Amino acid sequence: MEEKIAERDDIDLYVTDREITLASGETIKVSKLSWGREMKLYKILSKAFTPLAEHAGSEPPPPKKIYEALLRFPDVLTELAATFFGKDTKWVENHCTDKDIMEYVLPLSLNIHNRVLRGLTGTLTAQGPEETQGSQT
């Protein structure tokens, strides 16, 4: 019986090598996620939000920036899948379906991104502003 990744925020990261079956019926081996691969997934996904991050705050991003982010997102998903599956982007384009991306890649990538942000936010919040700036004596 194939192990699946749990839904969204309670996704259990791949801690061992495993095989998954793609929508095409092809079975592939997915190596356990190392810290390096997790961070690569985080950085790739963060790039997708870059056009929107410039407008963080009370004002929503202009429609042009939202459109730019949406246009880049398929390439971001392909790069995420290539990293996740340990393949190149052409392999992903030729072997994966949207179901594979939505079932395996996107939820895990979002989970990693959210975990890092929560950890960072929690750490910075726990430290006061004086601790994050360092001593200036």
- Backbone phi and psi for residue 5, each to the nearest 5 degrees, phi listed first: -75, 140
pLDDT (average), residues 98-109: 83
Region 22-41: mean pLDDT is 87
Quote the pTM value. Answer: 0.69
What's the rounded mean pLDDT across residues 101-124?
75
Q: Percent of the chain beyond pLDDT 70?
A: 74
Residue 90 scores a pLDDT above 80: yes
Burial 108-119 (b: 16+ CB within 10 A, else e): bbbbbbeebeee
pLDDT at 116: 72
Please, what is the average pLDDT of the chain?
77
- Report the SS3 class of residue 71: helix
Confidence of residue 56 (pLDDT cuts 50, 70, 90): low
The predicted model gives 60-83 an average pLDDT of: 89
**For residues 35, 38, 39 and 45, what is the CA-based torsion angle, rounded to 10 degrees?**
180
Q: What is the pLDDT of residue 35?
A: 82
If one counts every other C-beta atom within 10 angstroms of the C-beta of residue 37, the result is 17
CA nearest to 77, candidates 53, 52, 100, 111? 100
Q: What is the mean pLDDT of residues 22-40?
A: 87
> What are the structural domain ranges in the chain?
8-125
Task: Output the six-digit token pair for 105.
Answer: 């890649």
Q: What is the pLDDT of residue 51?
A: 74
**Residue spans of alpha helices (H) in the chain:** 35-53, 63-85, 89-95, 98-100, 106-126, 129-133
pLDDT higher than threshold 50 for residue 11: no
Confidence of residue 97 (pLDDT cuts 50, 70, 90): very high
